[in-house]
A and B are shown apart, each in its own frame.
Chain A
Amino acid sequence: MDKLILGRYIPGDSIVHRLDPRSKLLAMFVFISIIFWANNLITNIILFSFTVIAILLSKVKLGFFIRGVRPMIGLILFTTFFQMFFIQGGTIIFEFGFLRITDYSLGQAVMIFIRFVLIIFFSTLLTLTTTPLSLSDAVESLLTPLKPFKVPVHEIGLMLSLSLRFVPTLMDDTTRIMNAQRARGVDFGEGNIIQKVKSVIPILIPLFASSLKRADALATAMESRGYQGGDGRTKYRLLHWGLKDSLLMLTLLGLTVALFLLKST
């Protein structure tokens, strides 16, 4: 689990770190949506350079992102190979039995690969430079327009920030319980599938039990501090939409227009 980079935050002080989390979140949504328009060389180059510039601005090491892709490389390659072998059309370059690679399928496969990598790079960039708490503030703030439609915006925000707050705690709990059970002679990840599944029980039950206990204690502590739901609460952490956020949005607008015009139909 230590190798998973996605979803972790590295404290830093760069222009990307200082952006408003709302603009970063919106930027990611827009970026991932328009990534599917990029279907020729020029559009891919534009997207790629945009990502690299964003990474450079964040001052996080590039090797770090590459390492972040590593746990998912198997899945990406799997999909890529399927694209390569099973898409029809175009001139045949190589044929062996039912496997056939054409210039068209090769291009598609490369595109899929690039899309995956860019999506992972960009979402890693978001989580590496934004604290989980400000991310959940951003979600709450972005969902506010849905309030008249009876969407429980405050509750969603609260649950999100509580869950994010407890992810590391639960991870610590898991490691602690796993180590304690290992010390009692449990081998995790060994033996056949049934043994493997069985060895999960000594982690899951204590983990559930401690989560329930934690939830109970937390609810009591919140109530005793006067929590009565979202109505009438003020905010301690305020989000500030600055000039650089507007600039980011403009850049993305430009990127969207450019991609729309340059994509091949």
Chain B
Amino acid sequence: MGITLQNVNFTYQKGTPFEGRALFDINLAIENKQFTAVIGHTGSGKSTIMQLLNGLHVPTEGMVVVDDITIAPDSKTKDIKSVRKKVGLVFQFPESQLFEETVLKDVAFGPQNFGVSEEKAEEIAKEKLKLVGITEELFEKNPFELSGGQMRRVAIAGILAMEPNVLVLDEPTAGLDPKGRRELMSLFKQLHKSGMSIVLVTHLMDDVANFADYVYVLQEGKIVLKGKPTDVFQQVDFLENIQLGVPKITKFAHNLTKRGLKIEKLPITIAEFVEVVING
């Protein structure tokens, strides 16, 4: 179970003068019920990895294994369509993918594509809309009448309605205000607790520290660092060198150690910091 990438290489527009290599020999495993974060600079290949996870891209070399399905360079769309149901992808600014006349129909669109009947799909849609915090009086509204934050919730509900096992999020909180950001992140945490695997693509280190179980650091199409967030964020100098940085509190603690405070392991959340300061 889970998703593994084995020696995956990926090149865009292979065989044309516009050819561009995006990934180099990537090995990565996303275990079941794990909250995985993928971080990296713009253009480091995060989004490409994300689209490999559900078969939107097929690797140029190597293979992607999702549960019992293998996606190899010569895989056909027909064989990997079931992967799309298992792995739900929430793209950056997902509100731009809404198109139906009503909120409810739009959310029900996904499951219907996988053969769920209209009534059943609307039932699921109602449930998922409530889950993301959209109230009933908005169900029959046109999605284009909603506010930006509400549109994004509807779009996310549209992915959740397909009832995927793995939810892949590409910077889900980009462009939201702090309150909206907190609410969405706690929604993902709740989904994770209920047994869903989550892959979060982000460059907000605080989110990684607060939520992730495991983190992969990408640079120019290669994995340069991986491990538990507590271990990865010890490398303050390295991460700052590749212009990613560490959580604010880790940076603060790091600065304190430079001025003589003795800390065995740099804390990555505020709670950990408080504990270190009180006990140490």
Interface residues of A (CB under 8 A from B): 2-3, 8, 10, 61, 64, 67, 173, 176-177, 179-187, 201-202, 205-206, 209-210
Contact = CB atoms under 8 A, between A and B. Distances in A.
Contacts of B91: 176, 179-180, 183
A64 B18 CA distance: 11
B99 A184 contact: no
B88 A2 contact: no
Contacts of A67: 16
A179 B51 contact: yes
Contacts of A61: 17
A2 B85 contact: no
Interface string B69-84: 0000000010001001
Interface stretch (B108-116, B174-182, B223-231): B108-116
B162 A185 contact: yes
B144 interface: yes
B96 interface: yes
B97 A181 contact: yes
A185 B94 CA distance: 15
A186 B113 contact: yes
Contacts of A64: 17
The CB with the most chain A CB atoms within 10 A, among B56, B96, B114, is that of B96
A184 B109 CA distance: 8
B13 A2 contact: yes
Given A184-B158, A187-B81, A202-B109, A2 B16 contact: yes
Given A185-B81, A185-B162, A187-B77, A180 B94 contact: yes
A10 B18 CA distance: 9
A interface, by DSSP: helix, strand, loop or mixed? helix
A183 B85 CA distance: 8
B99 A182 contact: no
B54 interface: yes
Given A61-B17, A187-B77, A210-B96, A182 B56 contact: yes
B56 A183 contact: yes
B89 interface: yes
The CB with the most chain B CB atoms within 10 A, among A61, A180, A181, A202, is that of A180
A173 B56 CA distance: 16
Interface in B40-65: 51, 54, 56
Interface residues of B, number: 27
A33 B251 CA distance: 68
A185 B96 contact: no
Contacts of B94: 180
A176 B50 CA distance: 13
Contacts of A177: 96-97
B110 A185 contact: yes
Given A180-B89, A185-B113, A3 B97 contact: no
A165 to B, nearest CB: 19
Given A180-B94, A185-B85, 16 more contacts: A2-B18, A10-B17, A67-B16, A179-B51, A179-B89, A180-B97, A183-B84, A183-B88, A185-B162, A186-B113, A187-B81, A202-B97, A202-B109, A206-B99, A209-B96, A210-B96
B208 to A, nearest CB: 23
A2 B17 CA distance: 11
Contact of B113 (A2, A3, A184): A184
Contacts of B158: 184
A183 B54 contact: yes
A185 B99 contact: no
B98 interface: yes
A210 to B, nearest CB: 6
A3 B162 contact: no
B159 interface: yes
A210 B95 CA distance: 10
Nearest to A189: B77
Contacts of B77: 187
Given A176-B91, A183-B56, A202 B84 contact: no
A187 to B, nearest CB: 7
Nearest to A8: B18
Contacts of B56: 179, 182-183
A182 B158 CA distance: 13
A173 B159 CA distance: 19
A206 B96 contact: yes
Contacts of B13: 2
Q: Top 9 closest A-B pairs, CB basis?
A: A185-B113, A205-B99, A183-B89, A180-B97, A184-B110, A180-B91, A2-B13, A202-B99, A185-B114
26 contacts: A2-B13, A2-B16, A2-B18, A8-B18, A10-B17, A64-B17, A173-B96, A177-B97, A180-B91, A180-B94, A180-B97, A182-B56, A183-B54, A183-B56, A183-B91, A184-B109, A184-B113, A184-B159, A185-B81, A187-B81, A202-B97, A202-B99, A206-B97, A206-B98, A209-B99, A210-B96
Contacts of A187: 77, 81, 113
